[in-house]
Amino acid sequence: MQPLGSIYIEDTGNTDINRITPDRKNVEIFLKWRSFLLNILIIGNGQCGNRILDSINRHALGGGKSCGKLARFYSTQRFKSHVETLALNTAINDLKEMKFTKAKDRIHIEHLHGVGANRNVGKQVFEEKKEIIMRQIEDRGNFDMAFVITSASGGTGSSFTPLLVKEMKKRYNYPVYCLVVLPFREEGTLYLQNTAFSIQEIRQNGADGIILADNQYLKNIGGSIQEAYDGINDMIAERILFLLDALDSEMMMVTDLGDFQTVMSGGAGLATMGFFRADKEIPIKTAIQNSLSPSSLLFSTDVYEEASRAMIVIKGDRKYLSIDDISTEIEKLSGAVGHVFKGIIVRSGEYPQVLSVLTLETAREMENLYSVAVQAINQEKAKKQRVEEGSKMEKAFSQIEGMEPEY
């Protein structure tokens, strides 16, 4: 136990600022200590963003799938940093589905029951409700950085997020990163065109980086559709929480918020994350290699061909942390991608865990997606033109003009 005035912090790697109870004489000491922590805002935008945020909150409340839905009422979130969460949606039913996010953090932006995948409607709603949304952010304090989590393909998330980023960058000085989930390529023309325009607008409106996750990975998770969605939500939540833990931890070799910002500023403004958690004793070089493998990444990329910068954070018991093996793997990666930041967190009794953050100079999979999106946009345009020119159905209807039914 480490004393801080009369506040005691258990140095187990699971320090939870919400569980530290200062006595009244030492409130100032407590607040001063807390001021050294990162202040982080996580916004889940639209149905997809809400579900991922709920998964983050479930893990922060203690855990796995057995974590009860009443946990949000009687448990405290075990974030290493000071974290505020906010769920935004025009569809109230999506907010009602959230089991681990407190009611005060679920904000219904009133507009019927959603915007129906129509980004133009979503943009209009955002502009009308902008001050309500921004007040919710301002009421939660000042931050060192923010994450906005969204799908690129739907209605609320894909339309709100670019405008939200623009407004946040105009009003605040902290970096805003977006974690954007891409759709199945066969989900339909509307979703594909929404994705293309949403990502383009997020980049144009000043996001400090876009972390890509791809629903194509659902095909590899297996099980029912719901299990698949839960699986990718958990994958994203696990990586976000590990990153937050790393940015606010004491390390043998340090990575911090400044390093993360430098990594995210590289490349084409796009990034992805890989993660590997060993469940047995394995060499640390194997854990690092696994974190960079296709099965561990959130987005399909050839790391050694397409990445431009990287951050590797390694956690585990000291006996697994061979500096020679770590240096060999980092040198191999830096030879391909350029600069690699590395951090090492010693956690007694833990098997190796490795998080990889990679910014991308090129992304063939994204190029392919935009090619498919162009086809989708042209299909929608052709449909609209046919309707405007008069369809066969209109000709059919016109046959009874001037006639009355006979009974």
Q: Which residues are annotated as a binding site?
A: 47-51, 155-157, 187, 215, 233
Give the strand pairing for 176-182 and 145-151: parallel
Which residues lie across from 345 on neighbouring strands?
Answer: 315
Binding site for GTP: residue ranges?
A: 47-51, 155-157, 187, 215, 233
Contact (Cβ atoms closer than 8 angstroms) between residue 115 and residue 146: no
Q: Say which DSSP state 242 is in.
A: H
What is the C-alpha separation between 181 and 236, in angstroms, rounded? 10
What is the C-alpha separation between 388 and 143, in angstroms, rounded? 50
- The alpha-carbon radius of gyration of the chain (Å, integer) is 24
What is the C-alpha separation between 42 and 53, in angstroms, rounded? 8
Contact (Cβ atoms closer than 8 angstroms) between residue 351 and residue 317: yes
Largest CA distance in the chain: 93
In a 10 Å sphere around its CB, with 0-12 CB exposed, 13-18 middle and 19+ buried, how is residue 179 labelled? buried
